[in-house]
Amino acid sequence: FEGPGSVEDTFCLSWVVSEEAWGVRREVELVPGGADIPVTEGNREQYVAALVDYHLNSSVAWQYEAFSHGFRMLCDGPVLKLLRPQELERLVCGNPHLDFEALQRNAKYEAGYTATTPVIVWLWEMVQHELPLDEQKRFLKFFTGTDRSPIGGLGTLRCLIQRDGPDSTKLPTSHTCFNTLLLPEYSSRPKLARQLRTAVNNAEGFGLE
């Protein structure tokens, strides 16, 4: 902007936030007397900083305090002070990297399946190389009850794939409490892909979000 009055004339703003809650609109002053302070070329950076602080901190202060109180009731201790924010996030949210090769290396098979059974080979190839990330997460949730990797990675999970009868129209099922996938021995890769996608994309459960 050029000219001393360009910001004020263009935006016609004051140091006030207008927001709506439960159908009621209200105005909140970012600083005392903010309704009477125009946003100008000289104070626009301070205005933006105050606006960001309001939206990220002040406006959610009581919700954050309630969350912080509950979190510290469960997790507070001297070890918490040793963690960086990124490390704490990893502990709470899990590892964002989904290493299905590690999960495959740790997988066990029962009821006639082995690592070289065709339907098992097709399954891992499909999961690792054909499914987009959102479907990989849905598959992991279908299999284990959560779409997140534990802190040590997927290689730390004990998972089991059991043969659920010969080729049929049955969909794959799972026991998420035991990380167990029940998989019919489908006769072709396209049929496996169709049945698996139908199962994981339409599954509802009580897993961890």
Residue 177 annotated as catalytic: yes
**Structure letter (DSSP) for residue 187:** S
Is residue 128 within 8 A of residue 148, CB to CB? The reply is: no
Pinpoint the alpha helices (H) of the chain: 6-11, 44-56, 61-75, 85-93, 100-106, 118-129, 133-144, 189-201
Residue among 12, 75, 93, 177 flagged as catalytic: 177
**Quick count: other Cβ atoms within 10 Å of Cβ 86?**
7
The CA distance from 95 to 154, in Å, is 9
Active-site residue set: 177
